[in-house]
A and B are shown apart, each in its own frame.
Chain A
Amino acid sequence: MAESRRQARVVVTGLSILDPLGGDTNAVFERAVAGQSSVRLFPYGDEAIGGSTPAVHFDPIDFEARLGKATCRSTDPFARLALLATEEAWQQTRLARPTKEPDPRAGVHWGTALGGINTFESGYRAFWKEGRKRLSPMSVVMGMNNAAASQIGIRYGLGGRSVTHSVACASAAIAIGEAYERIRDREMDLMVAGGSDLPLGVGVLRAWDAMHMLAPGDESSAHRACLPFHPDRRGLVLAEGAACLVLESLEHAQRRGAPILAELAGYGASNDANHVVRPDHRGQVRAIRAALADAELAPDAVGYINAHGTATTEGDAIEVRAIREAFGDRCAERLPVSATKAVHGHAMGATGAIEAALTVLALQQGKLPPTAHLDRLDSTCEGVDHVRGTAREVPDIRAALSNSFAFGGTNAVLAFTHPDG
């Protein structure tokens, strides 16, 4: 095969995580490393249908000051968060803001599980609660689930691919993986990839609650409600969030002297094809092995896994079983694993991007965030090297994985390697 047709190497040149506690992405990483939780008690609804639950939620953001009125009037908050996340990641790449024609070799793949659901929820409330008869003509463009990708494409002149992935909890990981493939296969030179979601509408909260999957908590205990791998784990904590990676081919990044944060060396995806909510370790093993093979990584070369770890009774144990099987028991017991959802919660279609960004930072800085609140380990989750208590310094780390396993059975694993090889 001619040199120009060979697969391209893909690198990360910018990243961002938006978190309600504020600060830039490094501040978010430092909090994750310190095990500092963004979870607070979230009061929702009204006197008729309402309550409170531990969640990760933003205080009102002055979007108009950041994005302009015109953009805000035509976007749902999930697209606004996407724009803010992209802005921070883009700045880090030192790419110019495009002013000319859209670049046909640049694109965006975005993940969202719920997209513009809050726009529709507001519409239903306006009709049935407030007695209104009409909706804003902007409702369609606000509510459509590809609105975030569309807005990012417009603002950054991305004239190539624009695709939205809605794959429940794996949405952003799939978006990043598919964006990686577009560059690897030389269809694109640059891709913006990530995810955003605001899953705290009454309808969404109550739907999760009906499955008995939300971790309980009150004012004083909410911050430690999400307990991955812990014997007392009671379920997940829903989170608002957004995160973004900017991916480029290695040549493209080197040509412009861009800072390289990590290489996205492999992507493995699989489908359980078994049960709509009960994860199957065999499907997860297939995704992990596919990512390792794609990245040409031996199991013992991996120095960290950011686990999917949602803190459900079944899910955490099945994931540990999958890691043990994919890596072999002897390798797995020396493999550092943590679940950062304990601090940032489960941002649904954004969570894969949040965790991918944390994984890149862990690799780059040689510092592994712990699973917060893990003062006791559940016996069903034994067999890997849990990072607990405090962060772990790992100056020699060379490769790390980020696992994302979705309701519906979709699994996605991203393999990152240190930029220095």
Chain B
Amino acid sequence: MQALELIRTGIAENTDIDPATVTPSSRLDELGVDSFTLLELIFTLEEQMEIELGSDVGTPETVQDLIDILQPHLPTNG
């Protein structure tokens, strides 16, 4: 769930959305994250994780889509 926590923190930092309402099944547009806000959110996450996702991010529609994008870049256990 580390990715979800990062996303919640990023949302808290960049928007007026209550991070407690953010779940994997949440749709980004329903949360109020439009494509422009998403750009800033992804930038914040990249800065925090010290990664660069480039333009291969695609167009995530749900929080789970975002988790799937971030997951491969998170440090793995063991």
Interface residues of A (CB under 8 A from B): 68-70, 73-74, 134, 136-138
Contacts and interface: CB of A to CB of B under 8 A. Distances in A.
B15 interface: yes
Contacts, number: 25
Interface string B22-37: 0000000000000011
Interface string B18-53: 000000000000000000110110010001000010
B43 A70 contact: no
B57 to A, nearest CB: 12
Contact of A69 (B15, B36, B52): B15
SS class, residues of chain A in contact with chain B: loop
Contacts of A73: 13-15, 40
B39 A70 contact: no
B16 interface: yes
B16 A69 contact: yes
Contacts of B37: 70
Interface size class of chain B, counting residues whose CB lies under 8 Å from the partner chain: 10 to 19
Given A70-B14, A73-B14, A136-B43, 15 more contacts: A68-B16, A69-B13, A69-B14, A70-B15, A70-B37, A74-B36, A74-B40, A134-B43, A134-B47, A134-B52, A136-B40, A137-B40, A137-B43, A138-B39, A138-B40
Residue with the highest number of chain B CB atoms closer than 10 Å, among A68, A70, A134:
A70
B34 to A, nearest CB: 10
Contacts of B52: 134
B67 to A, nearest CB: 21
A134 B43 CA distance: 9
Residue with the highest number of chain A CB atoms closer than 10 Å, among B13, B16, B36, B37:
B16
Nearest to B32: A70
B17 to A, nearest CB: 8
Interface string B51-71: 010000000000000000000
Contacts of A68: 16
A74 B37 CA distance: 9
**7 closest residue pairs by CB, A with B:** A137-B39, A68-B16, A70-B15, A73-B14, A69-B16, A70-B16, A137-B43
Nearest to B11: A69
Contacts of A138: 39-40
Nearest to B14: A73
Contacts of B40: 73-74, 136-138
Contacts of A137: 39-40, 43
Contacts of B16: 68-70
15 contacts: A68-B16, A69-B14, A69-B15, A70-B15, A73-B13, A73-B14, A73-B15, A73-B40, A74-B36, A74-B40, A134-B47, A136-B40, A137-B40, A137-B43, A138-B39
